[in-house]
Amino acid sequence: MFLKISLLIISIATLVFGAERFVDASSKIARNFGISDLFVGLTIVALGTSAPEIFFAISSVINSAEAVAIGTIVGSNITNIALIFGVSCFAINQIKKRFSLESLIPFLLSFLLFLFALKDLKFSLIESLGFIGILFYFL
């Protein structure tokens, strides 16, 4: 029991020390390249919050549980979108409704391509390139 508690304390201390060194080194590198500390901080936070999901997905694939990895990734994306949308709705008083044909066309194209892709329940290379093309058209 004493050994486990000691290892836990040493592990936490090592983690804190390593994190401090990582952040300091990242800030120093960013300053050398003229990148703001805010950008580096946000990037580190983004990587830190995504790291458990990435390692879980890699572990799932290694253990031949690809469905678990896909479920984790899809579920995480849905959760992130829903949370950001929900917080945004609280922050904005009123959402302005704008109808634009320019934004409707890519939506319809991607929906039709998705229906076409459902016929064999697999995304081929051509279908994937079609989605990427629609994305670039939209952007």
Question: 123 is in which domain, residue-wise?
Answer: 98-139
Tell whether 105 is covered by a domain: yes
Report how far residue 93's alpha carbon sits from residue 136's, in angstroms, rounded to the nearest whole number: 31
Tell whether 129 is covered by a domain: yes
**How confident is the model over 3-16, as a mean pLDDT?**
91
Tell whether 119 is covered by a domain: yes
Give 76-119 pLDDT, tens digit per residue.
888 888 888 888 777 776 666 666 777 788 888 888 888 888 88
Tell whether 134 is covered by a domain: yes
Are 53 and 73 within 8 A, CB to CB? yes
This prediction has a pTM of: 0.43
Tell whether 102 is covered by a domain: yes
Tell whether 107 is covered by a domain: yes
What is the gyration radius of the CA atoms in the chain, in angstroms? 22
Count how many domains the chain has: 1
Angle at 88 between CA 83 and CA 94, to 5 degrees: 140
Give 34-64 pLDDT, tens digit per residue.
888 888 888 887 887 778 888 888 888 888 8
**pLDDT for residue 6:** 92
Tell whether 32 is covered by a domain: no
Report how far residue 71's alpha carbon sits from residue 78's, in angstroms, rounded to the nearest whole number: 10
Tell whether 112 is covered by a domain: yes
